[in-house]
A = this chain, B = another copy of it.
């Protein structure tokens, strides 16, 4: 799931880079995209080491992740950055939680490929500057972020429903229904903190 997520994130961020208002910003988003493909390579390498064909291993996640991206196509530069910041932020938190249930070296690999905070800072600054220049932007991007979360959750439920092994891993890892609730609470709090940090509201 993470491998295909990286491959698809690469594709979408590379396309979104065309929305950049200048070459400097376009290069920044292109570089963010390139990091994803480096991570993809490491994950695909590990899948092959474990005897899996990366293509077969990714297949069950294609429809759900594709649907998420198709339903959240950014219309402009700020929507693209907000998607990278908010969407990838939640996804990273989720994978970080799941990684805790794995044993090394897989746990370490997952933690290592999660996003570089250098690019988060770039996205944060751009969003903050845009809001400072025009406070109305905050409302529009807050609504956009809510849509990202809604679409993300809806596809996550679909994947979880279809992938018993992933659901079982999370159930066993968290211990019980209370553990799952606590996990979702942590994801939600971190998301709220991220929104607040750039001047967006939940």
Contact = CB atoms under 8 A, between A and B. Distances in A.
A30 B37 contact: yes
Interface residues of A, number: 27
A42 to B, nearest CB: 11
Interface string A38-79: 101100100000000011001100100000000000000000
Task: Name A's interface SS.
Answer: helix
B34 A37 contact: yes
Interface stretch (A15-23, A91-99, A145-153, A177-185): A15-23
Interface of A: 4, 7, 10-11, 14-15, 17-18, 22-24, 26-27, 30-31, 33-34, 37-38, 40-41, 44, 54-55, 58-59, 62
